[in-house]
Structure formats: structure tokens, C-alpha cells
Structure 1
């Protein structure tokens, strides 16, 4: 049981049911009385009463104005909107239950990556800190519109949460299960800076001098990502510390590297 509510309406419905039962006994076989009993019983069932509670009411002839609400499945009370003794209006929220046996995974995807993703497709999900427990996620939903102010599309799926070991809000890495990458150049995934403005890498132009270069990417393959355009033969790409260069650029110049 989750909670009990006192309801004068329930007591009235129970009294109506007991009176219908008494009338049925007095006029045994009368179809109208049977219909009245059936109607009164249905009202109580719709009110949340169980068959066992109605049988007990019929047997004891004692009204119980308390409605006991039972949970239909296991979960955790995430929010409690009332206190004991408080009056609750019809339709008011009382509590919110959340189940953590499965967790939603929401992924922001760039336009060139969306060409490789379809609804129902299986993706590989790795929870940060649990790299040895990769999970498989099926794409259940693809948002038909881009996120405001970006070129990102959000997709959603779910993964199993064995023994509730993961909390909602954890960061994950999501990769295409297909590992085939054709053409282009593979770089460590941390070498590519990706945000709402696009994707770029840092190219060494001289000693201790680096410039951002916009790139297009293909499929991610584990810890690497395929660069399909934007890098020329002979370019020296920063593969460690790219985010540090990005942060320093924004801090000193006050603008995004890609303009």
C-alpha cells in the first residue's frame, strides 16, 4: 500500500451497496434489485475498491471510509506533494513514482551523424566509469525538430539498469554498433571539439601556434572518430589538449573559434 485517503463519498457508496444487498435478499430473484447491486458494486470498483474489500464489506456490514491505494508495480517515491492530514482536491497530484529498472538515454546527434541512424537501430552505450559494462540500446524515438539554437537532433532509447547500479543523470557515450569506416582519417575522439556551432579540430601552423579547422565527421569507432573532410594531407592535428586550446581561445578572444 502507498497511502490511505478518507472519503465521505466512499462511505456513501458503501452504504448504497449494503442497502442494495439487503434489498436483493428481501426480494430474491428480482432482476431490478440485481441490477442495483451490480451498479453499486461497479461504482466501488471504479473508486479503487478491490473484490476482496467488497467481500469483506458484505460479510462484516461495516463501512470503511478510507481508500487504500496500492502500487501496481515497484518503484521509488521521487516526489511527495502532500502531508498527513491535508485535504486533497479531486485531480490533485499526491506523489510521483519512478522506476529505475530501465533508464532513458537521450543523445544529441549532429546532422551528418543522423544520416547513419534510423528508428529501431541498435546503438552501443557505455556509462562513464563503467566502460567494461557496455549496453545495447534500441532507438525508440527521433525528435522530428532540431533543438532550439542548434543543429542537434535528440534521439532516445533505454538501457537495462541491473540492480539499480546507475543513477539518472549520468553521462554516457553512444556509438554506432557498426564499426566499418570507409575513407577519411581516423582521429582520437577527444581531438574533435563538437558543440552547437559545429565540429572542429586544431591544426599546428607553426611552433606553439595553432588554428581551428572546421571538419566533417563520419562514424565513431570506439575511442576514435572518422574525419571525412576538412583536413589535408600533411596537416598536424592536435590529438591531446584540444579542449584546452578551445577554452583558451574563447577566454582570450571572447568568441567561438568558428566565428
Structure 2
């Protein structure tokens, strides 16, 4: 309504005239143009003070986190050499009995095999002769003491008897020690081979009736697999990223849905000449025996990184083929900026390029400015 639409305003009552004037002013105000929600200004987007977008946009500073970077290397499961033992025969002979088989679990001190050995028979004979000589020397010493106390023997005769006894005792101790070392016992004249450690028989090279002719060749191997090594092959260019005590997560081909945790316990001081890789071993508990030597695995090392920029995924907007965010360069003034990301399954969107510490970005409602 306008003032021109009123005919002869002087003929109207004053109250009605005032009402018409107020209605006309209200109509003109409603027809006035409203302020824009956002203003584009030389590549910047400015949100005016009366823009309804101010209540829709959420602005936050970027987050800085010290999140390690995971690097994976191929690996295999190995038995810990400190928990392995090659069982060697103390003497040569014929295997009379074999008490265990390949893969059997044995306890320390358990009987593994019985060997009929001529060398062991000689050790028994030496011990028997030394015992008899010791008994004879003891009797001679006792007689010499009795005669000397009666005054019928010279002191040198007593000393000679004492020397003979001492030599016989030393020979008896030597023969008995050797007999014990080669597995002799008073209950049997055969050589008993016992387990030096507890574990599983992982290699076996003898059978009943077989002659053991080389005392330096292992009859069997026992490995304690309660703790195993996951050995990663680290390229020469990455060796500087790993260190002893570093946490490691491993996934095995046999158990793809389970993660095994451990720490680096050994970094080889020498690279493999043929592969130019370093052997990095991770000790992993294996109480249930699921990890078996020679299994394949992937070992993921947490490499320490400097603090990096992270933003919530709600701040990311697609602009053509690039990922962008709106950065506040002045109060309620924003700049569209392209970013490069490195997604982390646990940490979120890591920004490797495009943002820095202290930047403030729109984390909610940015899609309203995206057009």
C-alpha cells in the first residue's frame, strides 16, 4: 500500500489516517531487500552479522596429535634359540629304546631314549675298579694307623698309606663323575638320554636299533614354544625406523582376524648380504601353541612421528576432484583450501598438507557454503 492509494486524506478522521500511515510504512518495510547470507569477496566468503548461517556454522581449531605411523614388513614365526636344545648322545652305541616321537611334548628330565653303549660299560668298569681300590686303600690306612698307635710302625709308613688312600679317593671321584656325566646310574647299565628342557620334539633323527656313531650329531631337537619370535625382514632403507623395545602388532596368515602384540627384543647388527634386509625379532607369548615356527605374518611397527594436524571428517568437502576445508582467515571470513590426507583407521583424517597448527576450520555446516 502507498500514500497515493489514499483518496482525499483530509476528509478522513485523524485516527483512521494514522492507521493507514502505519500500515503503509509496515508494507514498505516488508518489501525492503534482506541482507545476503554470504558475500563473496575476491575468493573469500564473508558471513555478515545478520546472516542466518552464523547459527548453523561450527568453527574449531585443528587438533594436533602425536600419533605413530604404522609401517608393515613381512615376517615369519621362529622358535627362540635360547629356548631350543639339541639332544646329543654322551657316548656312541645302539639305540635300544626310543621313548618319544616327533611332535611329542616332554618335560625336563624325562627319559627320551635308552642306548646300549660299550663306552658306558667301560665307564662302569672304571668306576667299579676305582671303588674297589678305594676300599683297599681305606683298609690299609686303617691298619697303618692302628700299628702306628701301638708303636710298631714308622711314621713314613702311615704317610704312605694316607697318600695311597688319597690317590684312590681322587680316582674314584673322577670315575664316578665321568659315569654320571655320560648318563650312568646305579639302577641300569644302559645309557639313559633325558630331556634337558621342557618343550616339543621338533626334529628327530634316530630310531630303535640304529647305531649312534657320532656323539656330535643331534639325536633330536626340543623347542620350548611358550614364547616365540616373529622375525620381520626390514629393508635397509627402513632400518633406522625400528629400535629395541618398540611396540609391534602382528597378523598371521593363519589367524587373519587376530592381532598378536609384542615388543622388539632383538635387532640384528648385521644385514643379510643377499637380501639387504635386517632381521628384527619380536618376542610374542604363545601359551596355547597356536604360533608355529615357519608361519607367515605381517609385522606392523609404530614409528614415532612429530605432532600432525587432524580434522573431523565432517570438515571435509569435495570440490571437483579435490578435498577442501573452509579456513577462517578473519572473523567470519573463510577461505576454501585444498588439503592432502592420510587416513588412519584409529586416529581419523590426518592432514599432511594444506593446514598448520592454529588454523581454525568449519567442522559443521560447511556444506552450506560449498555451493
Q: Does the alignment reach a TM-score above 0.5?
A: yes
> Structure 1 residue 161: deviation in Å?
0.5
| Aligned residue number for residue 82 of structure 1 | 206
Supply the distance in 1 between the matched residues of 2:206 and 2:128 (Cα, whole angstroms): 32
> Structure 1 residue 221: deviation in Å?
6.2
> Structure 1 residue 184: deviation in Å?
9.8
Aligned pair partner of 2:136 in 14, 26, 33 = 26
| Aligned residue number for residue 178 of structure 2 | 43
TM-score under structure 1 length normalisation: 0.59
1:97-149 Cα deviation digits (max 9, x unpaired): 2222122211122344322212343323344426445311223132522452x
Aligned pair partner of 2:301 in 176, 189, 207 = 176
Counterpart of 1:27 in 2: which secondary structure? helix
Cα 1:85/1:12, change in 2 over 3 Å: same
Supply the distance in 2 between the matched residues of 1:158 and 1:11 (Cα, whole angstroms): 45
Q: Quick check: which one's strand share is greater? A: 2
> Structure 1 residue 68: deviation in Å?
0.4
Pairing 1:1-259 to 2, within 5 Å after superposition:
1-28=111-138, 30-49=165-184, 53=185, 56=186, 64-89=188-213, 90-128=215-253, 129=255, 131-146=257-272, 148=274, 150-177=275-302, 180=305
Cα 1:23/1:154, change in 2 over 3 Å: closer
More relative contact order in 1 or in 2 (CA 8 Å, sep 6+)?
A: 2
Cα 1:15/1:152, change in 2 over 3 Å: closer
Aligned length: 186
> Structure 1 residue 166: deviation in Å?
2.2
Max radius of gyration: which structure?
A: 2
Structure 2 unpaired stretches of 5+? 1-110, 142-164, 311-320, 322-341, 355-371
> Structure 1 residue 26: deviation in Å?
2.1
Point out the more displaced range, 23-32 or 137-146: 137-146
TM-score under structure 2 length normalisation: 0.43
1:217-247 Cα deviation digits (max 9, x unpaired): xx996689x9999xx99xxxxxxxxxxxxxx
Asked if 2 retains the 8 angstrom alpha-carbon contact of 1:106 and 1:155, the reply is yes
